[in-house]
A and B are shown apart, each in its own frame.
Chain A
Amino acid sequence: AQSVTQPDIHITVSEGASLELRCNYSYGATPYLFWYVQSPGQGLQLLLKYFSGDTLVQGIKGFEAEFKRSQSSFNLRKPSVHWSDAAEYFCAVGARANAGKSTFGDGTTLTVKP
């Protein structure tokens, strides 16, 4: 069975500081990996995805993530956080054959201090 672990429930960073959100997955085959962001009361917005190829993927809003197969990780990073980045972040994994049927992590809440 596939699973996703986001070890950090809540992270607080200062505006302008760098950010790294951790994601570890368990999956028996080559995974499709995603990061989504959710603002309160809103749906999810796709930040970036990894299917294959270059293990460092660039996304929207200045985010990037690195796929490390040996560590089963897909951590999300941003060099300089903006106050508008405060939100809930979800990592998800899907099967190559049916990636729309995703398993989500429990999410990490990001708070940005002025």
Chain B
Amino acid sequence: GAVVSQHPSWVICKSGTSVKIECRSLDFQATTMFWYRQFPKQSLMLMATSNEGSKATYEQGVEKDKFLINHASLTLSTLTVTSAHPEDSSFYICSATPTQEGYGYTFGSGTRLTVV
């Protein structure tokens, strides 16, 4: 079945530094991947749509200069949180799907970011 790998699982960084999170589709190609953010005990909020070979599409209210998305290949999308601050601490999850409808939508295992 379709597998999406996300790395790292958790990361702690200092305020002002940048952190990169990787999302890989292991056994399929994904022209589109999605990045979500989840606060504790809350639902998932779509941040942006990552498009292979082109610019990401950001949801309203999401700072594109803070959350840089790069989808350089058909199997890899990266989310870089720039100049991180404690309020950026959250659980970040990516998702992707093969083009065939039968697979549904596969999520990565998530990355817990803590900014200190």
Binding site for B on A (CB under 8 A): 34, 36, 41-46, 49, 51, 90, 94, 98-107
Q: In the bound complex, do residue B96 and residue A100 qualify as a contact, i.e. CB atoms below 8 Å apart? A: yes
Q: In the bound complex, do residue B110 and residue A41 qualify as a contact, i.e. CB atoms below 8 Å apart? A: yes
Residues B29-68 near A (CB distance < 8 A): 32, 34, 42-46, 49
How far, in whole Å, are A103 and B109 apart by their CA atoms in the complex? 19
Assess A46 versus B101: contact at CB under 8 Å? Given A90-B44, A101-B34, A101-B46: no
Which secondary structure characterizes the binding site on chain B?
strand
- Which residues of chain B are within 8 angstroms of A98 by Cβ–Cβ distance? 32
| CB of A39, distance to nearest CB on chain B (Å) | 10
- Which residues of chain B are within 8 angstroms of A34 by Cβ–Cβ distance? 104-105
Q: In the bound complex, do residue B105 and residue A46 qualify as a contact, i.e. CB atoms below 8 Å apart? A: yes
Q: In the bound complex, do residue A42 and residue B110 qualify as a contact, i.e. CB atoms below 8 Å apart? A: yes
Which secondary structure characterizes the binding site on chain A?
strand
Binding site for A on B (CB under 8 A): 6, 32, 34, 42-46, 49, 91, 93, 95-97, 101, 104-110, 112
Select the residue from B6, B110, B112 with max chain A CB neighbours within 10 A: B110
Closest chain A residue, CB of each to CB of B57: A101
The one of A51, A102, A105 that contacts B46, using a Cβ cutoff of 8 Å: A102
Besides A43-B107, A43-B108, A46-B106, 6 new A-B residue pairs in contact (Cβ under 8 A), listed by A number: A41-B110, A43-B110, A44-B44, A46-B107, A94-B105, A101-B34
The one of B32, B42, B43, B110 that contacts A100, using a Cβ cutoff of 8 Å: B32
Q: In the bound complex, do residue B97 and residue A104 qualify as a contact, i.e. CB atoms below 8 Å apart? A: no
How far, in whole Å, are A35 and B28 apart by their CA atoms in the complex? 22
| CB of A48, distance to nearest CB on chain B (Å) | 8
How far, in whole Å, are A43 and B44 apart by their CA atoms in the complex? 11
Closest chain B residue, CB of each to CB of A46: B104
State the 5 A-B residue pairs at the shortest beta-carbon distance, nearest first: A43-B109, A44-B107, A43-B110, A43-B107, A104-B43
Q: In the bound complex, do residue B43 and residue A106 qualify as a contact, i.e. CB atoms below 8 Å apart? A: yes
Ordered by A's residue number, 26 sampled pairs between the chains whose C-beta atoms are within 8 Å are A41-B112, A42-B110, A43-B93, A43-B107, A43-B108, A45-B107, A46-B105, A46-B106, A46-B107, A51-B101, A90-B43, A90-B44, A98-B32, A100-B34, A100-B95, A100-B96, A100-B97, A101-B34, A101-B49, A102-B46, A102-B95, A102-B105, A104-B45, A105-B43, A106-B42, A106-B43
